[in-house]
């Protein structure tokens, strides 16, 4: 079963491809053509043979210099089988689309990053028929952003920084500047980024710090009902408003990921007033394969 941090790292790229390409240019310092338009493509590379091959995220990028593909893989640990798979992915995609594929590996592990960055060479020694050079984003090259002004200048990079460093105690240093930076962006984007960041925080202290920061700024409660009851100071209404906002956040995550949400399931989520259940659903919504998977036990 894939972990939520695995899903969070690459799915963030789907939600803000422009922010992701800016991050590639800034961190890797490579001349990636300036994008004009993006499209998230089907990540299933399975052919007629019964062998499933699926990349994590596949983005088509349109630029003044032409079309290219970003093949994004989230890697939690070393897996030597992946090296031949990555070579296959690039060859298959180039043959299928005729566009230049670029392999990007995302990881929270410094040792995995060093392993993934090694060139993949297929063929005879000294005469390689195919060479693949993965581009890797990991804790050793993604900057640790702890300055609030810098965080506000690039909210995506700051969120991605917190996610990349999420396995270690250094992640906690990014969270306060990130929380302040999220207040400068729109509510929906802030809520989504906050959810992805939480999914990648492995350090217990960092997770607790993040939850406290998010509770303080009410990211999940900013909507008309919640604002009204806060002004009136009615505790009962406040709790109802918070529950409704959390329910809406669950549905927004599913909608933003492009998952079809049946009307019955949508009504079921909106009717829920259990704060713990809603928070659990929000976590699951980040990496559910289908909207129905989220509430399988409840509506099945």
For 75-115, write each residue's pLDDT tens digit. 888 988 888 889 989 999 999 899 999 999 999 999 999 99
Please give the pLDDT value at position 233: 45
Q: Do you know the residue count of the chain?
A: 300
Q: What's the pLDDT tens digit per position in 157-181?
A: 999 899 898 887 778 888 889 988 8
Please give the pLDDT value at position 53: 61
User: Radius of gyration of the chain from Cα atoms?
Assistant: 20
Confidence class for position 296, pLDDT limits 50, 70, 90: low
- Rounded CA-CA distance 78/159 in Å is 24
Q: Assess contact for 93 and 77: CB atoms under 8 A.
A: no
**238 pLDDT more than 70:** no
Query: Is this prediction's pTM over 0.85?
Result: no
Q: Assess contact for 103 and 90: CB atoms under 8 A.
A: yes
DSSP bridge partners of 60: 39, 69
- Rounded CA-CA distance 61/37 in Å is 6
Please give the pLDDT value at position 170: 79
Q: Which DSSP letter does residue 146 get? A: -
Confidence class for position 220, pLDDT limits 50, 70, 90: very low
The set of residues, in sequence order, having a beta carbon less than 8 Å from that of 161 and lying 6+ positions away, is 142, 143, 144, 145, 174
């Amino acid at each position: 079963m894939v972990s939520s941090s695995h899903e969070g790292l690459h799915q963030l790229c789907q939600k803000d491809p422009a922010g992701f390409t800016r991050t590639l240019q800034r961190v890797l310092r490579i001349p990636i053509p300036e994008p004009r338009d993006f499209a998230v493509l089907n990540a299933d590379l399975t052919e007629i043979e019964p062998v499933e091959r699926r990349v994590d995220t596949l983005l088509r990028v349109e630029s003044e210099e032409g079309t290219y593909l970003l093949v994004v893989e989230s890697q939690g640990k070393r897996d030597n089988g992946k090296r031949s798979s990555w070579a296959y992915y690039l060859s298959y995609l180039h043959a299928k689309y005729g566009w230049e594929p670029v392999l990007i590996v995302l990881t929270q592990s410094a040792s995995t990053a060093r392993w993934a960055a090694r060139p993949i060479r297929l063929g005879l020694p000294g005469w390689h028929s195919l060479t693949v050079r993965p581009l890797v984003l990991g804790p050793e090259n993604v900057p640790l952003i702890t300055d609030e002004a810098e965080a506000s200048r690039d909210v995506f990079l700051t969120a991605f920084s917190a996610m990349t460093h999420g396995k270690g105690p250094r992640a906690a240093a990014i969270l306060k500047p990130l929380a302040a930076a999220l207040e400068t962006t729109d509510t929906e984007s802030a809520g989504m980024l906050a959810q992805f960041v939480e999914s990648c925080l492995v350090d217990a202290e960092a997770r607790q710090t993040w939850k406290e920061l998010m509770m303080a700024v009410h990211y999940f409660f900013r909507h008309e009902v919640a604002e009204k009851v806060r002004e009136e100071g009615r505790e009962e209404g406040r709790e109802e408003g918070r529950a409704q906002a959390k329910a809406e956040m669950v549905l927004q995550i599913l909608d933003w990921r492009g998952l079809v949400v049946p009307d019955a399931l949508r009504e079921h989520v909106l009717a829920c007033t259990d704060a713990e259940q809603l928070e659990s659903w929000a976590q699951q919504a980040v990496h559910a394969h289908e909207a129905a998977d989220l509430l399988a036990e409840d509506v099945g």
